[in-house]
Amino acid sequence: MKTRNTLVLLVLLGGLLAYLKWWDPKIEGTDAKNQKKSRPVQIDRDSVTSMTIRNSEGTLQFTKSAEGNWLLESPVKDRADSTAISMFFTSLEGLTMTPVPADKGGGLADYGLTKGEVSITLNGKNPVELLIGKETAIEGKVYLRVGGKDTAYVAGKDLRDQGAKGAKDWRDHRLGDLTATQVNKVRIRTAKGEFEIEKASNHWSLTKPFKGRADDQKVSDLISNATTPRIEDFVTDAKDLAAFGLNEPRATVTFHAEGVKDPVVLQIGNGRKIEKPADKKEGEKKEPETAAAPTHVYVTLSTREGVFTVPVAIESVLNTQPNDLRDQSIMRVQSDMVDRITLEAPGREKIILGRKGEEWVRKMDKQEDRPVNGGAANKLLADLTTMKVTRFVADVAGDLKQYGLDAPVATVTLSSYSTEGTPETKPGDRPLAKLIFGKFEGDAGYAKLDEEPFIVAVPTALFEEAWTDPLQWQELKVQELKAEDVASFEVTRAGQPTLTFDRDKDKKWKLAKGDGTVSPGAAESLVNTLANLRAVGWAGATKAAEQGLEKPNVTITFTLADKKTGKLTVGKNTPEETWNTTLDGKTGTFLLSKPDFDALNASLIEVPRPAATNGAPNTPPTPAAKPPVTVPAPLTAPGDPPAIPPKPKLIQSPPDEPKPKSKPKP
């Protein structure tokens, strides 16, 4: 019995749910009825294909294109303002109307609804005509009726205000509708000449009067400035183009766009002074138009009828010259595409730097890759791909000898590398850009890209980073030992006696000969620096006399626990406060930092202080109280000038991997 009752209840519940879902929504509630009553006309903008608005200004006709854009067909053909159209349909779709009470009296003529002061006809799936009449006694309200019906309604006047606008208010105030991404070719003709720019592979290039890379952002800005200024005024009587300076325009800009059959032509004519109310005080005499600086200019656009005035800023096109649009980057290459940097110079072996994960190595022929100064490689690549030219020297590379480019002092080639081929390419290097260096004078020198015809000047600093001496590319880690493996060392400083140190039974440092107390901190600092030598950079080949290595500042000879020996020689200092240094077993001279030099040159013997007497404080020792082993002061090589000359501007490597400034000339 209980089971049967449960089943009956479930059936009833199911029926109730079905009723609520399928039948109840069809029964209109009070709110729905009231809403339908206040909106006797339902309008959907997507279903409207054309419309006509009649008002005191005349009759305006609109059509909607296949793309969904509204066009003004009469009284002038033009693009309609999308914002004005959208606001108009928003008012139509939200229109609410209250019927005029039957006992109010008066006919359609009394309400201005016989023909309507403004009429709106919408054509499409559900055609409708709205006639808008006089204003009511209630502020902000007007009379309205639906075409073909005699019922008068009261509605807000927003729709009437929009329908009362003239053609000027419905026209698109943007001069053009092209975007920089659509345009693929631009030709500009002014009194100064004519030039062309074209886009290929998403980059702009100058094609006339010479060939060269163009700055993508500058070209995009030019297109935007020329096609999208806001129209201030639509000239109604535009038959006499000479009156606007458009029979012989000051500039003609032709745009070719992807997907657009005919080019879009912009012409710029005379200037015009448009005064705003605030520009002129009441009673002030108006000056002739030509006496004031123009605020706007007359223009025409081939895709639109009539003459327009736009802000005078569009005149920037008149002053644009080819060099203003040139890409001033030395080369147009993305650094993350580069896998190889090849450096070549007459009389030098070719240097190929290659990426290996996040590091750089030197690629060797039939030998293992060698680690290099990765910070210097990254900086060279960054400067090659981001540095700007100093100036454009010649648009056509005529006499290369004049610029030293007939016999380049060096070349740098950037390339990508692929281990697998494609139908178009073979495995291996694919050159991206090749920069040729010519003569250098002062802070700049001549250069050109192999694939481009023009010659530029580039900063000397860039050439100084393109090292063609393989020794300069050596890694900055010079020596890496365990400090505890250093068993003894001998220090010789210019003009000072040689000191020899070894470890005692407790592994602490002591003088092997002579008296004196060893400073443990100074000795450990020297040994740690010696065991973990790191260069600021490499000067290149060793030139003993020039680098002060024949008469060194400091010489340190050391012996390891396994009886192996080594020798560090520190020569002259440089204006950048680095020291020319060599290490036996390493080819070339590296540059030692000032902190490392100070650690190697610090006093290793402690200076005792005399004991205090009668409660008197300790006082510094007198000259007579000096210990047998004197404390040498930091030294420079004999014959060095007393003062360091002013520092020249440095080409710095990244802080973690610095590099030397100077570069031997080939």
Nearest to 39 by CA among 107, 115, 95: 95
Q: What is the pLDDT of residues 286-309, one digit of tens each?
A: 554 445 688 999 999 999 988 999
| Alpha carbon distance 266, 301 (integer Å) | 5
Q: What is the pLDDT of residues 203-232, one digit of tens each?
A: 999 999 999 999 999 999 999 999 889 999
**Largest interatomic CA distance in the chain:** 131
Q: What is the pLDDT of residues 479-532, one digit of tens each?
A: 999 999 999 999 999 989 999 999 999 999 999 988 889 999 999 999 999 999
3-class secondary-structure state, position 623: helix
Is-contact 194 208, C-beta < 8 A? yes
pLDDT at 551 over 80: yes
Q: Which residues pair with 208 in a beta bridge?
A: 196
Across the range 546-559, mean pLDDT stands at 97
Q: In this prediction, what percent of the chain has a pLDDT beyond 70? A: 82
Structure-block tokens of residue 553: 């500042």
Identity of the amino acid at 463? F
- pLDDT value at residue 297: 94
Across the range 62-77, mean pLDDT stands at 94
Across the range 365-377, mean pLDDT stands at 94
**Res. 422 pLDDT band, cuts 50 70 90:** low
| Alpha carbon distance 582, 591 (integer Å) | 9
- pLDDT value at residue 658: 44
Global confidence as pTM? 0.70
Q: HEC profile for 611-634?
A: CCCCCCCCCCCCHHHCCCCCCCCC
Cα dihedral 307/312/318/323 (nearest 10): -140
pLDDT at 4 over 90: no
Identity of the amino acid at 213? R
- pLDDT value at residue 612: 57
Nearest to 334 by CA among 422, 433, 427, 454: 433
Across the range 150-162, mean pLDDT stands at 92
Angle between helices 520-531 and 594-601 (to 10 degrees): 130
| Alpha carbon distance 107, 109 (integer Å) | 5
Is-contact 403 455, C-beta < 8 A? yes
pLDDT at 641 over 50: no
Phi (first) and psi of residue 554, to 5 degrees: -140, 140
**Res. 648 pLDDT band, cuts 50 70 90:** very low
| Alpha carbon distance 554, 622 (integer Å) | 28
Q: What is the pLDDT of residues 21-44, one digit of tens each?
A: 555 555 445 444 445 555 778 889
Across the range 397-422, mean pLDDT stands at 88
pLDDT at 470 over 50: yes
